[in-house]
Amino acid sequence: MSQSTTGQRYRFIDLLKVILTVGIVLRHATLAGVAGRSDAFDLFSLIVESVTEVCVPLFFVLSGFLYFRNVPAKPDANYFRDKTRRRATSLLVPYLIANAVAFVLYWLAHRFAPGMLSGFFGDDWRNPLFVFVTGPVNMSLWFIRDLIVACLLAPLFYLFVRYTRIWGVIALGAVWFGVGGSPFYNFWFALGAWAAVCQGEAVGRFLGSIRCNVPADAAAWCFFIYLYHYIPAISFKKLLVAAIGPDSFFALAGTYLATALLTLGLVTGVYILLKKICPRLTGVLVGGKI
């Protein structure tokens, strides 16, 4: 068994996170269901959605690898207990706060601007279970919810990849692709875990050999964008469609790109402002990634 023991930060992974985060924003900026139709734009949207389909699976792979990259040869209960405690800070707390913020924003929209967010949240938004679990009310955060579950099941993932190696991961992938209804994280998180537990040294050398320059807080920015982009994207697309009424390819494409750029610009601006005036709060919001 080969394991990654280095504690270095892989800048290439940070770069991948930036690319994947932008891809997710592009995916959620789609105008499906809120704008006119154009055959050319439908094809364009299909291409974008097909390309960005890989973003969340790759985030699961990265998460599985990063969880296990420093795993000792024989991890004990203390190892997993410490990991769980840290994931409570880095995942659970930001997840709960982001959903609470989404709930407040949705309530305000429901109260003062009916229709702004309609069609994107069910009538169960008042149910606390829906807000934080079954929805969640910030729908894009289902990934964080499932990742939290995967981290809680980390000891099982470790035993699975250690004793079944790549063959177990392939079998799990076959089940996932065949059934399609199994929990999303199973195969992809296991693939990342296998890369760390069974191929850690080789993968670590490969990642360490790739030189790239990204801001030191790139991971924090990505996490903040992921947590808080969804409602701005919904709002911008509805406002722009109402104002422009796009019905041609170029009008639809321009509205779509404007939605993505405005969303990235707004949430990035909020992140920079919060980081400047209240860095400790920002650190909590992004799970201590800065």
Per-residue pLDDT at 290: 77
Q: Is residue 232 part of a domain?
A: yes
Q: Is residue 181 part of a domain?
A: yes
Q: Is residue 196 part of a domain?
A: yes
Per-residue pLDDT at 52: 94
- For the chain, what is the domain count? 1
Q: Is residue 3 part of a domain?
A: no
> Would you say 47 and 15 are in contact if contact means Cβ atoms under 8 Å apart?
no
Q: Is residue 1 part of a domain?
A: no
Per-residue pLDDT at 65: 95
Residue 149 CB: number of other CB atoms within 10 A? 12
Per-residue pLDDT at 136: 80
Q: Is residue 6 part of a domain?
A: no
2 pairs with which residues across the strands? 199
Per-residue pLDDT at 127: 64
- Give residue 181's domain range: 11-285
Q: Is residue 200 part of a domain?
A: yes
Q: Is residue 157 part of a domain?
A: yes
Residue found by looking up tokens 């985060």 in the block = 21
pLDDT values of the chain reduced to their tens digit, one per residue, 290 residues: 555 445 567 889 999 999 999 999 999 998 876 766 777 888 888 899 999 999 999 999 999 999 999 899 889 999 999 999 999 999 999 999 999 998 888 878 777 776 666 555 555 556 666 666 667 878 889 899 999 999 999 999 999 999 999 999 999 888 877 776 556 558 899 999 999 999 988 888 898 888 888 998 999 999 999 999 999 998 898 899 889 888 888 999 999 999 999 999 999 999 999 999 999 999 999 999 87
Per-residue pLDDT at 261: 97
